[in-house]
Amino acid sequence: MAQRNISSVCVNYDAQGQAAWVAYLDIFCLDADGNIFDAALLAAVAALSDVTLPAVTVLEDGRVTADTAAVAEAQANAKDAMQTGEENAKGTQILTSQRQLSLKCVPIGLTCGLNQGHLIADPCAEESGLLDTTITVILNESGELVSVYKPGGNVGASDAILMDCIEMSRLRYKEVSPLLEKVLGKGMSE
């Protein structure tokens, strides 16, 4: 299972994680030539790698606001309270700076098709129509297996076929991860 860093998404983590960000990600496919899952996963990783969480104020009643004026006022009140040794008059907990969402796992997948005992890596739409089954293997940056998905059906996949899919996925990861890093303009696992 992927390591989770709950503190990177919590607004008020030091006080029992009272508020946390929730992200919803919708992917719309405008055109596809087969194997859309791998492309969608890559798009999701790229999108989440670019997320910046805003500065916020957590009010005493638990409401969270990203209002910049409220954040500035809370910062000023907090500085005054720190200088005088008093509690913040409005009872706010503040996070004054933006934070980049930190991904602890960067999954990249490869779907392989099986046709009459032969493996086809990254099948296109035309090839997909001829396949007996598909196997999707998802790895993380350490080459560890994150997920394997094989839809049901009458065709099984032997251990040897599965190991070949995993090895092809490792090669794909080495090919795709530098391209993703280049597009994002930074290291993916910062």
pLDDT in tens, 25-35: 999 999 889 88
What is the sign, positive or negative, of the torsion defined by CA atoms of 182, 38, 123, 157?
positive
Q: For residue 136, what is the domain's CATH number?
A: 3.30.230.70
What's the pTM? 0.73
Does 70 lie in the same domain as 124? Answer: no
Nearest-angstrom CA–CA distance, 42 and 82: 45
Nearest-angstrom CA–CA distance, 67 and 85: 26
Does 39 lie in the same domain as 90? Answer: no
Does 88 lie in the same domain as 44? Answer: no
Task: Tell whether the model's pLDDT for residue 179 goes beyond 80.
Answer: yes
Does 135 lie in the same domain as 67? Answer: no
Does 178 lie in the same domain as 105? Answer: yes
Q: Cβ-count burial of 42 within 10 angstroms (0-12 exposed, 13-18 middle, 19+ buried)?
A: middle
> Which of 16-20, 23-27, 154-158, 166-170 has the largest mean confidence?
166-170
Task: Tell whether the model's pLDDT for residue 83 goes beyond 70.
Answer: no
